[in-house]
Amino acid sequence: MSGEGEAGIAKSIQSKLTDALKASFVQVEDLSDGCGAKLDLIVVSDEFEGKGLLERQQAVHEVIKEEMKVVHAITMKTKTVKQWEAMKAKEQS
């Protein structure tokens, strides 16, 4: 991971989460002014169905454990497709 920079880390995280969790939507936002050390994630996957918040976050961390070696802080929202659609509908109303 060393030397990849923010764009490489974000792309790697997005790809890994999409593949491993069969995510329908993954957003990786750099909140650290470009260094990639502080990230905000949104992960939408039906793999989260029936799982609590802690289980969902553990699943995400397991997939990106290599990238986490260079990330200092991470925030995340983990939603099922149904939860995501309901959230988006509420925002639009």
| pLDDT tens-digit readout, 23-40 | 999 999 988 876 768 899
- Map residue 67 onto helix, strand or coil: helix
pTM over 0.85: yes
Phi first, then psi: what are they for 64, rounded to 5°? Answer: -110, 25
Q: Is the pLDDT of residue 1 over 70?
A: no
Phi/psi of residue 36, nearest 5 degrees? 80, 10
Q: Alpha carbon of 49 to those of 5, 8, 27, 36, 84: distances in Å?
A: 33, 29, 19, 29, 12
Predicted local confidence at residue 32, as pLDDT? 82
Residue 50 binned pLDDT confidence (cut-offs 50, 70, 90): very high
Mean pLDDT value of segment 69-74: 90
Mean pLDDT of 43-64: 97
